Amino acid sequence: MRAGIWLIGARGSVATTSVVGALALRAGLTDPVGCATAHPDMNSAALPGFGDLRFGGHDVTTGPLAKKAEQLAAAGVVPARLVQAVASELDEVDADLRHAPEGATQAETAALIARDITDFRTRHGLDRVVVVNVSSTEAAPPEHPAHGSLDALAAALAEPGEVLPPSSLYAYAAFTAGCPYVDFTPSTGARLPALAELADQQALPYGGHDGKTGETLLKSVLAPMFAMRNLAVRTWSGVNLLGGGDGANLVDPGANAAKSVSKQRVLHETLGYAPEGDTRIDYVADIGDFKTSWDLVTFAGFLGTGMCLQFTWQGCDSALAAPLVLDLARITLAAHEAGRSGPLEQLAYFFKDPMGDVDHALHAQWETLRTFVGELSAAGAPSGQAAEGGGGR
Amino acid sequence: MRAGIWLIGARGSVATTSVVGALALRAGLTDPVGCATAHPDMNSAALPGFGDLRFGGHDVTTGPLAKKAEQLAAAGVVPARLVQAVASELDEVDADLRHAPEGATQAETAALIARDITDFRTRHGLDRVVVVNVSSTEAAPPEHPAHGSLDALAAALAEPGEVLPPSSLYAYAAFTAGCPYVDFTPSTGARLPALAELADQQALPYGGHDGKTGETLLKSVLAPMFAMRNLAVRTWSGVNLLGGGDGANLVDPGANAAKSVSKQRVLHETLGYAPEGDTRIDYVADIGDFKTSWDLVTFAGFLGTGMCLQFTWQGCDSALAAPLVLDLARITLAAHEAGRSGPLEQLAYFFKDPMGDVDHALHAQWETLRTFVGELSAAGAPSGQAAEGGGGR
Amino acid sequence: MRAGIWLIGARGSVATTSVVGALALRAGLTDPVGCATAHPDMNSAALPGFGDLRFGGHDVTTGPLAKKAEQLAAAGVVPARLVQAVASELDEVDADLRHAPEGATQAETAALIARDITDFRTRHGLDRVVVVNVSSTEAAPPEHPAHGSLDALAAALAEPGEVLPPSSLYAYAAFTAGCPYVDFTPSTGARLPALAELADQQALPYGGHDGKTGETLLKSVLAPMFAMRNLAVRTWSGVNLLGGGDGANLVDPGANAAKSVSKQRVLHETLGYAPEGDTRIDYVADIGDFKTSWDLVTFAGFLGTGMCLQFTWQGCDSALAAPLVLDLARITLAAHEAGRSGPLEQLAYFFKDPMGDVDHALHAQWETLRTFVGELSAAGAPSGQAAEGGGGR
Amino acid sequence: MRAGIWLIGARGSVATTSVVGALALRAGLTDPVGCATAHPDMNSAALPGFGDLRFGGHDVTTGPLAKKAEQLAAAGVVPARLVQAVASELDEVDADLRHAPEGATQAETAALIARDITDFRTRHGLDRVVVVNVSSTEAAPPEHPAHGSLDALAAALAEPGEVLPPSSLYAYAAFTAGCPYVDFTPSTGARLPALAELADQQALPYGGHDGKTGETLLKSVLAPMFAMRNLAVRTWSGVNLLGGGDGANLVDPGANAAKSVSKQRVLHETLGYAPEGDTRIDYVADIGDFKTSWDLVTFAGFLGTGMCLQFTWQGCDSALAAPLVLDLARITLAAHEAGRSGPLEQLAYFFKDPMGDVDHALHAQWETLRTFVGELSAAGAPSGQAAEGGGGR
Ligand SMILES: NC(=O)c1ccc[n+]([C@@H]2O[C@H](COP(=O)([O-])OP(=O)(O)OC[C@H]3O[C@@H](n4cnc5c(N)ncnc54)[C@H](O)[C@@H]3O)[C@@H](O)[C@H]2O)c1
Ligand SMILES: NC(=O)c1ccc[n+]([C@@H]2O[C@H](COP(=O)([O-])OP(=O)(O)OC[C@H]3O[C@@H](n4cnc5c(N)ncnc54)[C@H](O)[C@@H]3O)[C@@H](O)[C@H]2O)c1
Ligand SMILES: NC(=O)c1ccc[n+]([C@@H]2O[C@H](COP(=O)([O-])OP(=O)(O)OC[C@H]3O[C@@H](n4cnc5c(N)ncnc54)[C@H](O)[C@@H]3O)[C@@H](O)[C@H]2O)c1
Ligand SMILES: NC(=O)c1ccc[n+]([C@@H]2O[C@H](COP(=O)([O-])OP(=O)(O)OC[C@H]3O[C@@H](n4cnc5c(N)ncnc54)[C@H](O)[C@@H]3O)[C@@H](O)[C@H]2O)c1
Ligand code: NA
Ligand code: NA
């Protein structure tokens, strides 16, 4: 399969780390540490190779990708030697990035977005392209009647004014262009009835929401531990300190709220009750991409005896996110090829706020994902490979 | 089923907390928080009721159980009001405790132990009794040729001298008396070929080793998380500070070594490689039963970026252990009734150092246990209930 | 000296812990752990004895003090045996508590407050009474022109409407009654020009603000450490989780803001610059009086190398505050007797938000306090003792 | 003053970081962050300028200094750009490093060491040279009768066999060469009566022991906090995880013991009693120079209520040590010039295990140091500067 990823927010930290990593993997300079799809249990011929992915994307900023990569190296997010080694390939990717277009109406903007994507697909002779949103988190948009059906939406987009938030407009354009769409952010994305209708019409799969890379990842194994031990969690309170572009954006109360909500779902759904406590996100420029989270869990054991667990997670957010972006692209591309469409609930392993009424325990999500990838492999791979005349790796 | 638990180390913290808790459950004064067998998924008519268990046991100390219970209340391990509420029932249990006997040879000692247990069974008309070792952790014993076969062992025990460490002698006596045996400690217990032979001969099940209540419990969910995320754990170093009787005993280097070894197994077996680092246990009297553990995990993510996780666990050891002791008794009694024998590898969920070549991930152990309890239920319950003319709880 | 403390918020946690402690000290049942004035360096004959203090006070709630003390015992704040031992003395104190009065105007209310206090002084034949505010934290009041001078204030208070927030009205009443006033809370208290004028007129000393018992206490030694090592602190971010009455009240954004501001002053004033980061206070009912704070400090060392310090403080707020309340009362009473008046900047050791332009390093504050107590001792003690015909202890 | 530092262990991490830093300071490429002598309060014309110090030294390894500096840059200890900027100056320093000499007797070895140092002084026309020991920590040496007097020592050194451990032989040689000696390690160094006699004879000052850069630094402000609050510390237990050369060496039980002992002194001497608990040092290669320490402090407050403080220190050991090495050199050189001799107890601020019966509170040590530097300034500077015909920087 000749495949591509179109990144929304293509000049951001997560996007750039993903690109540097994929190029370094292609050059055989690094191992796919942190990639679920590189785990022996998840290995599948149905997935396009890490090194086979072409990158393009949209952003609203303009600084060169290589410069951003150097900044990430200076900050310790990626090794400087890798950035140097893939410098010319980075410039090639840069040539496939486009400034986010703006039409007179949102319908026009969507058409321009779609054209950028289809041009990219054609230019490189790709079988398929997945659109992955890694742009800044938006505040939740106001409700709008046109969100409810595709016809109403099409009509409303043709009028001046903002009907869809950017993430949803990108999803609309992706679907129009025949591309699956994955949202790595807590933004609205494809989560509107009108967009579900469009994906359905186009027989396209889509996934989301909000990559699970830190505190929530820990919750997805620790909350099941408390549940399996039948211990009564009373409080789960946390604070996340982070800098970087994502942190700066989350100073906005709307974006912050979107993020905090998706972080608490796992507790209620795993434990069967909601412990006291909140999750806070604070911006601290000096911390940069190395997020520091502290959580306090108080719980009662046998006979009501009170105890507690604390943890501090010091993780490099982009380095945790980038391999998941590659995983999501590989799997979604394979799912598309295998003829899957609609919401991919099987991707819950990747998300803080997964689609569907799914289990929030990481091990259950892992099993689901493994089974799904196995099915794709059984179904699609052989014929797919034949159709492509070999390839992959 | 009319059932009993015979506790080795019956006047210790774990034992006393187990007894107070079972009596409080019988009186309807508390809920079985912390008991796996009280989880909806594990509910089974095959298990004897919490309140139906009779308690007896051996110890080498003599202070009254009620006094020990009051000390535990003063230390915050159990609520004072519960100790007061079950004071007279505690005295009844006390009447079933026996001083650890000493014969001229270990064979004689074993016979005396067995007689205490069978007397208890007869006195209370019990269908079956499970022996649970919650006595002080021993150092690993010197190897002895008689450990290799039952005949050689029987012959050696009849001579003066110490052939078996106490935990194994108790296991020998338990099997002789027709009782299953569970070892909640890292001591040798039934882990000798000669004793496996005896259990086999007597068609008895047995389980162990070393209740999983703190740092290792966390490892059993966090190590799988790192594995499922395909992250490369480099260091896992920890320190456990604890006081109480168990802590005091672990000052002994032999006992400490036994304990530390069982705490590291989970990492190697879950990750597939052994990270750097050690687990230390230090005695700090002031901390009492409220163990405080700190662990540092360093790991590499995508492109080798270094990150870390720290956690501090402040748990009341006896309050974490006691519900597991009740769980183990209930399940082992039901297994015995259902005709199971040999090492119960299905109990891995409970242990730091489980028997057999089992998965160390808690969720896998939970599934195994759930299936096992389900099978016991399917097999044994109805006829069992019939045989007992109703009863249950 | 025959001396009394009049507590505003007399039925709250800090007040009740202070009373239980003083009664237990009087009965010789405990040691003055946590009291600065019990330190060998601070010992002074000028201070009234711990056991010589009489307690009275105002509150807006009515539940008996003994009941509150039992609740504190159940929560582990004070030992149950001490509460039992001083039960009848607690009832005696209860007889000296009064419901917060309400007049038709604030002038009337102030007169009623003052009368309650002078009645208490007369009833028990006390030489002097200090008023200590340990009531709920208020939001900052709106500015009012009458705050600027005593004449304007007196006129405005005689009209209907709220000119002063409660803490300031209590300060006004205290000064009117000839009593020094100490504010253990971040509320406005005596911090208004009109009240300074009144204190001056009455030759009364006063002190505040906001008892320093947790995170800020740590900052007052750790920030000087960074300064003395010439290290560059970049971030200091913290979160405080607390329950109890104080925590519940701080859910109110106004009260929370008052508190957070006083918590950051120490950094700026000790380091000479303001690091990034905030201090948050969150209410978590389950945590009760056992506040848990986590702080992250990132700093740069030689050649800019980044490093970090984290700490978690798990302290019982009322048990930390109560000995300071006793210290403050003893010292302020002695200062009054020694003829001191105006703002007592020498009390900075006790406060998060001390009065005056003082050093925020704990060790400097300690030296200042020690010198001050020494001076009181040199000046006032002998004659004072003579005047009282002996007494004290 | 034309001054030099002769480093024992000159190719180690602390030494190399000190040299890189001094060269970068000389070139105006960095600020003296982390240097006490750069603090406004400590500024003094009596101290030689940072950039005026010449470096030489001994080591037993041979790899080039520039290579070691690059390794430290790769590990994040020093910035790569600074290492590049001072590359040629590093090579110049390398030319002044000598392999640790070995004579037929220790007397011969000492003479060779002294000659290397005096050659260095002469070669560069230096007024004075301070010898600073930053070599690997030794185990405590066996007692030897010749340690007691200089005559006995001189006689014994002339015989074959090891009378002095390396650190003491270096001190002996330094004193012979007329150089002050500072020991940054916990090794024996000048702490022998015979060496005190020699320093006295030569009118030389000396200082030590064991640079205070991490956990002990925190203890030196936190223990005073507990003391000033009159709180009762019950437990102080800690673990230090570190890699690097120092960590590797501390795997040796003798060296580890030397280090752990000096880490506990501060508690006993500050609090007036010894809390329970130990300080452990574990080697973890992956952690490298970024030491991670965790400490748990349990304490009792008013009425005995139990509370706790935990902290985690993640510091780069060499980056914390290097500025102190420069400080020590500057101050000791100035002290020598000002005619001071004997043990410099005023340097306690720098050491875990300071000489003399000194206060262990950091703020008291800071005051002492400040006064001392002020005196040096008052005494020696003007004439000194005159003598040198200007100079300084
Ligand atoms: N890093 C993680 O661990 C993680 C986890 C979960 C979710 N996320 C989400 O991923 C997203 C990216 O994070 P990041 O750290 O890379 O942030 P970033 O700020 O570095 O990058 C975001 C990029 O999006 C661009 N952008 C903003 N609006 C756009 C628009 N309308 N069209 C196109 N581009 C636009 C910005 O210019 C920027 O380059 C955020 O929404 C974040 O919340 C990240
Ligand atoms: N509490 C936990 O979380 C936990 C977890 C895993 C394992 N364990 C193990 O459980 C055991 C009990 O722990 P505890 O905290 O109750 O300790 P404890 O010291 O309070 O109790 C041990 C009891 O065993 C008795 N004993 C010692 N030797 C004996 C012998 N030969 N025969 C009979 N009795 C004997 C002692 O007198 C004591 O009463 C320990 O081995 C401990 O390592 C506890
Ligand atoms: N505990 C600490 O460590 C600490 C430290 C610094 C400051 N403080 C401050 O001390 C105060 C008391 O804390 P607490 O934990 O005892 O709180 P609490 O809620 O237990 O007690 C406050 C009491 O004040 C009473 N009150 C409220 N309004 C009043 C009024 N107008 N007149 C008279 N009484 C009134 C309440 O009824 C309550 O009984 C708070 O303002 C808190 O912020 C406490
Ligand atoms: N870094 C800190 O924060 C800190 C704090 C206090 C004390 N110290 C002490 O400083 C010393 C140096 O620490 P480091 O991290 O640089 O260690 P390191 O292992 O990197 O360097 C020690 C150097 O000493 C050399 N050496 C060993 N024996 C020698 C001998 N006989 N003669 C000459 N050189 C010899 C080694 O070859 C090595 O180059 C250690 O003793 C350490 O305990 C360091
Ligand atoms: Na445990
Ligand atoms: Na150190």
ipTM of predicted complex: 0.93
pLDDT confidence bin for A259, thresholds 50/70/90: low
Reduce the secondary structure of C208-253 to three states and give it as a string. Answer: ECCECCCHHHHHHHHHHHHHHCCCEEEEEEEEEEECHHHHHHHCCH
**What does the alpha-carbon distance between residue A316 and residue C91 come to, in Å, rounded to a whole number?**
59
The overall average pLDDT reported for chain A is 92
What's the pLDDT score for residue C258?
Answer: 67
Q: Which of B240, B287, B295, B310 to mutate to test the interface with D (most CBs of D within 10 A)?
A: B287
Domain match, C310 and C370 both: no
Asked whether residue B348 carries a pLDDT value surpassing 50, the answer given is yes
Domain match, A241 and A306 both: yes
pLDDT confidence bin for B226, thresholds 50/70/90: very high
What's the pLDDT score for residue A377?
Answer: 82
The tens digit of pLDDT for each residue in A54-88 reads 999 999 999 999 999 999 999 999 999 999 999 99
Residue D392 lies in a domain: no
Q: Does residue A315's CB lie within 6 angstroms of at least one atom of ligand 1?
A: no
Domain match, D164 and D221 both: no
Domain match, D307 and D223 both: yes
Beta bridge partners of D297: D236, D309
3-state secondary structure of B235: strand
Phi and psi, residue C256, nearest 5°: -60, -45
Q: Does residue A9's CB lie within 6 angstroms of at least one atom of ligand 1?
A: yes
What's the pLDDT score for residue C8?
Answer: 98
Q: What is the DSSP letter of A86?
A: T
Residue A205 lies in a domain: yes
For chain D, what is the domain count?
A: 2
Buried b (16+ CB within 10 A) or exposed e, D79-113: beebbebbeebbeebbebbbebbeeebbbebbbbb
Asked whether residue A391 carries a pLDDT value surpassing 50, the answer given is no
What's the pLDDT score for residue A247?
Answer: 75
Residue B393 lies in a domain: no
Helices (H), A124-189: 150-157, 166-176
- A225 contacts B362? CB cut-off 8 A: yes
Q: Name the more confident of A43 and B35.
A: B35
Domain match, A300 and A327 both: no
- A237 contacts C237? CB cut-off 8 A: no
Asked whether residue A393 carries a pLDDT value surpassing 70, the answer given is no
Domain match, D105 and D147 both: yes
Asked whether residue D258 carries a pLDDT value surpassing 70, the answer given is no
Residue C393 lies in a domain: no
What's the pLDDT score for residue A382?
Answer: 42
pLDDT confidence bin for B259, thresholds 50/70/90: low
* Averaged pLDDT for residues C329-341: 97
Domain match, D206 and D300 both: no
Q: Name the more confident of A26 and C385.
A: A26
The domain boundary, picked from C316, C349, C377, lies at C316
What's the pLDDT score for residue A11?
Answer: 98
Domain that holds residue A267: 215-316
pLDDT confidence bin for C381, thresholds 50/70/90: very low
Which chains have 3+ CB pairs within 8 A of A? B, C
What's the pLDDT score for residue B258?
Answer: 67
Lowest-pLDDT range, B362-366, C86-90, D281-285, D327-331? D281-285
The domain boundary, picked from C316, C345, C373, lies at C316
Q: Angle at the Cα of D183 (from D336 to C223), degrees rounded to 5?
A: 95
Query: Closest Cα partner for A239 from C277, C245, C251?
Result: C277
Beta bridge partners of C129: C4
Percentage with pLDDT > 70 across chain C: 95
Beta bridge partners of A307: A299
pLDDT confidence bin for A379, thresholds 50/70/90: low
Contacts of range D354-359, beta carbons closer than 8 Å, 24 or more positions apart: D354/D208, D354/D209, D355/D191, D355/D207, D355/D208, D355/D209
Q: Which of B228, B235, B307, B362 to mutate to test the interface with A (most CBs of A within 10 A)?
A: B228
Lowest-pLDDT range, B280-289, C84-93, C277-286, C375-384? C375-384
Q: Give residue ranges of A with CB < 8 Å to any C CB.
A: 234-235, 237, 239, 241, 276-278, 280, 282, 284-287, 292, 294, 296, 298, 308, 310, 312
The tens digit of pLDDT for each residue in D104-157 reads 999 999 999 999 999 999 999 999 999 999 999 999 999 999 999 999 999 999
**What does the alpha-carbon distance between residue D132 and residue A246 come to, in Å, rounded to a whole number?**
47
Residue with tokens 């392209």: A129
Please give, rounded to a whole number of angstroms, the shortest distance from the CA of D154 to a CA of chain B: 44
Lowest-pLDDT range, B6-15, B261-270, C128-137, D19-28? B261-270
Residue A177 lies in a domain: yes
Residues with CB under 5 A from ligand 5 (ion): B 213-214
Domain match, A138 and A179 both: yes
Asked whether residue A390 carries a pLDDT value surpassing 70, the answer given is no
Residue B392 lies in a domain: no
* Averaged pLDDT for residues C86-110: 98
The tens digit of pLDDT for each residue in A144-167 reads 999 999 999 999 999 999 999 999
In this structure, are residues B228 and B361 in contact, taking their beta carbons and an 8 Å threshold?
A: no
Residue A392 lies in a domain: no
Q: Give residue ranges of B with CB < 8 Å to any D CB.
A: 234-235, 237, 239, 241, 276-278, 280, 282, 284-287, 292, 294, 296, 298, 308, 310, 312
Percentage with pLDDT > 70 across chain A: 95
Q: Which residue from B170, B246, B351 has its CB within 8 A of the most atoms of ligand 2, so it is best to mutate?
A: B246
Domain match, C26 and C119 both: yes
Q: Which residue from A132, A134, A170, A353 has its CB within 8 A of the most atoms of ligand 1, so it is best to mutate?
A: A134
Tell me, in angstroms, the distance from the centre of ligand 6 to residue D32's CA: 20
Domain match, A178 and A75 both: yes
At position B166, the amino acid (one-letter code) is P
Smallest CA–CA distance from D239 into chain B, residue: B239
What's the pLDDT score for residue B262?
Answer: 66
The tens digit of pLDDT for each residue in D266-319 reads 899 899 999 999 888 888 888 888 999 999 999 999 999 999 999 999 999 999
Please give, rounded to a whole number of angstroms, the shortest distance from the CA of A219 to a CA of chain C: 19
Q: Which residue from C7, C97, C116, C134 has its CB within 8 A of the most atoms of ligand 3, so it is best to mutate?
A: C134
Atom of ligand 3 nearest to the CA of C187: 41
In this structure, are residues D292 and D313 in contact, taking their beta carbons and an 8 Å threshold?
A: yes
Q: Name the more confident of D382 and C249.
A: C249
3-state secondary structure of D183: strand
Asked whether residue A322 carries a pLDDT value surpassing 80, the answer given is yes
What's the pLDDT score for residue D380?
Answer: 52
Asked whether residue D391 carries a pLDDT value surpassing 70, the answer given is no
Residues of B in contact with D239 (CB under 8 A): 237, 239, 280, 294
pLDDT confidence bin for C382, thresholds 50/70/90: very low
- C166-176 vs C106-123: helix axis angle to the nearest 10? 50
Query: Closest Cα partner for D238 from D284, D282, D280, D291?
Result: D280
The tens digit of pLDDT for each residue in A192-213 reads 999 999 999 999 999 999 999 9
Asked whether residue C200 carries a pLDDT value surpassing 50, the answer given is yes
The tens digit of pLDDT for each residue in A81-104 reads 999 999 999 999 999 999 999 999
Domain match, B278 and B136 both: no
The domain boundary, picked from B254, B283, B315, lies at B315
Percentage with pLDDT > 90 across chain B: 82
Tell me, in angstroms, the distance from the centre of ligand 2 to residue B166's CA: 12
* Averaged pLDDT for residues C219-227: 96
3-state secondary structure of A242: strand
What's the pLDDT score for residue D151?
Answer: 97
Q: Does residue D167's CB lie within 6 angstroms of at least one atom of ligand 4?
A: no
Asked whether residue C29 carries a pLDDT value surpassing 80, the answer given is yes
CATH number at residue B202: 3.40.50.720
Tell me, in angstroms, the distance from the centre of ligand 5 to residue B267's CA: 15
Asked whether residue D183 carries a pLDDT value surpassing 50, the answer given is yes
Phi and psi, residue A248, nearest 5°: -60, -40
Percentage with pLDDT > 70 across chain D: 95
Tell me, in angstroms, the distance from the centre of ligand 1 to residue A343's CA: 22
CATH number at residue C260: 3.30.360.10
Asked whether residue B389 carries a pLDDT value surpassing 90, the answer given is no
Q: Name the more confident of B377 and B67.
A: B67
* Averaged pLDDT for residues D68-86: 94
What's the pLDDT score for residue D3?
Answer: 97
Asked whether residue D364 carries a pLDDT value surpassing 70, the answer given is yes
The overall average pLDDT reported for chain C is 92
Domain match, B43 and B157 both: yes
Lowest-pLDDT range, A90-104, C11-25, C308-322, C374-388? C374-388
Q: Does residue C381's CB lie within 6 angstroms of at least one atom of ligand 3?
A: no
Please give, rounded to a whole number of angstroms, the shortest distance from the CA of D49 to a CA of chain C: 17
Residues of A in contact with B320 (CB under 8 A): 301-302, 307
Q: Does residue B132's CB lie within 6 angstroms of at least one atom of ligand 2?
A: no
* Averaged pLDDT for residues A316-344: 97
Please give, rounded to a whole number of angstroms, the shortest distance from the CA of D197 to a CA of chain B: 43
The tens digit of pLDDT for each residue in C228-278 reads 999 999 999 999 999 877 777 777 777 777 666 667 778 998 999 999 998
What's the pLDDT score for residue D381?
Answer: 46
Residue A393 lies in a domain: no
